[in-house]
Amino acid sequence: MWQRLVKGSALLFLGLVFWLGVQNPVSASPLTADTTRIYGSDRIETAIKISQNGWTGASTVLLARADNFPDSLVSVPLSKRLDAPILLTYPEQMDSNVLQEIQRLGANHVILLGGEGVMGAPITNALDQAGIQWERIGGQDRYETAALVAERLGGNGQAILANGDTFPDALAIGPYAGATETPILLTQASQLPQSTQTELKKLAATETLVVGGEGAVSSNITQGLTGVQRLYGKDRYETASRVYWFSQENLSKTPTSGIPKAYLVTGEDFPDALVAGALAAKQNTPLFMAQKDSLSGVTYSAMINATGGDRLWVILVGGTGVLSTQVQEMVAGTILPPTLLAGKTIIVDPGHGGPDTGAIGPSGTYEKNNTLPVGLDLADLLRSSGANVILTRSSDVSPAGGDYTEINDLKARVNMANQNKADLYVSIHNDSFSNPDAGGTTTYYSVDSPVASQSSALGADIQQEVVKKLGLYNRNVKSANFYVIKNTSMPAVLVELGFISNPTEEKLLSSADFQKKAAEGIYSGILAYQGY
């Protein structure tokens, strides 16, 4: 962007960013949610309590094993379709409290999830004696059972694929699958079962959501599937949070009276996530996962976003033996989780976008296509440390919409930062100059910023770490009065990662490996600025 630096800051930022309406502005304060609990003396009673909280009546109930998860993993979309709560029982006998709940609901139909070997005569005899009609959805194994549930649902153009040997991924996607009534199919890590293959062909989905990383669902078995998109994190908690972000961007929000709501369940066992997932799908409400005594940084970040700029009501599912008082206090804001950036709001600003390509390299690459992946990677890193991240754009669009002008675009970005009282602002760019030999990394701050000394310090830390990661020529920290770093009220910098006008650096800037290193460098610089 060097040419535009010479010409002035307005040209530098032509059409930079977009703010997705679904990513609601949130305050810079730590998470301070209202908290309540739904729990019983055991998993069966907890499921009953969930049913009582969500359903005054139901004609159908889904009944699953309380001690084994495979046949119930895919049941949340069917629960939503039938408006049916999911109840639990052990296979040795029908729990009398479950029968009472079925009768309270006025249900005259029970669907057993799993074959006779999963829930057999002790259960069906009890239902017969109570005069309750029942049917069974159960195949030879969990994969065939999932296919049978998918057949009952039918196709909607989308299919979900998750590992059937573990429970977290399938249950994390449950509320989204339920809200959209999208079938969930199961697979082994490295082999796609025949029943799943057959059902995928029947569904003829144009989009396939794969939940879990390569270790859960190998890319070898997704070859040939259409429109594959993978949702995953480094663990089950990060995967559940990534599902939340995906859902935020892809589900229309139903206006509600009162404050936003979310469910928090343990990620260490399946029953609470299963039954709460059904209620979350019914209410179009997020579901997050936590360990007994800790809340991961990425979960904390996602829950801050879920406040919608106001309060949040979090319902913890399970007693303190499942989710401790310490976790509840982290959610309530009494204590901060032990994550590096908990409570910080950071604006990540991938340069250009929409009608503005930014600088164009000698081989025709666009700056806007290079900055976005860096911004998305940086957002993930910051969220993993507990920061609340506001992306100025997460796709190739402009914030001004139909009222797009250069100045409106600039003002939108500044307003986004100032109105949200962000703690830091980082804008990501590629430099450009008429001499193709010019190269290197530069970080800018504004001496006219109301916090110029802090911006300079932030710039120095980021410059040092980015140069260390990328290995390009160090052009040092410099001052420039670009609109967004001059008019934002928090420490703000603009990072020029390299010169897109330099043929060698152009190739690097469009490389996924280089982009990840750039994000890591900026992240390390932010941590250094925060004293880590």
Catalytic site residues?
Answer: 496
The interaxial angle of helices 43-54 and 271-283, nearest 10 deg, is 10
- Interior CA angle at 262 toward 257 and 263, to 5°? 135
Contacts of 318 (CB under 8 A, 6+ apart): 37, 39, 46, 265, 266, 272
Contacts (Cβ under 8 Å, ≥6 apart) of 516: 377
Cα 162 from Cα 217, distance rounded (Å): 7
CA distance 440 to 467: 9
In angstroms, the CA 184 to CA 186 distance is 7
Which residues lie across from 112 on neighbouring strands? 63, 136
**CB of 147 closer than 8 Å to CB of 139:** yes
First to last CA, the chain: 31
Q: Mind giving me the DSSP string for 254-299? A: PP-SSS-EEEEEESSSSHHHHHHHHHHHHHT--EEEE-SS---HHH
For the purposes of burial, counting CB atoms within 10 Å of the CB of 339, is it exposed (0-12), middle (13-18) or buried (19 or more)?
buried
Place of tokens 């449950």: 174
- CA–CA dist 238, 281 (Å, integer): 20
- Which residue has tokens 């995928």? 200
Alpha-carbon dihedral of residues 236, 239, 240, 242, nearest 10 degrees? 160
3-class secondary-structure state, position 321: coil
Task: Give the distance, in angstroms, between the CA of residue 284 and the centroid of all CA atoms in the same chain.
Answer: 15
- Measured CA to CA, the distance from residue 331 to residue 382 in angstroms comes to 19
Tokens standing for 317? 């599912």
DSSP state of 190: S
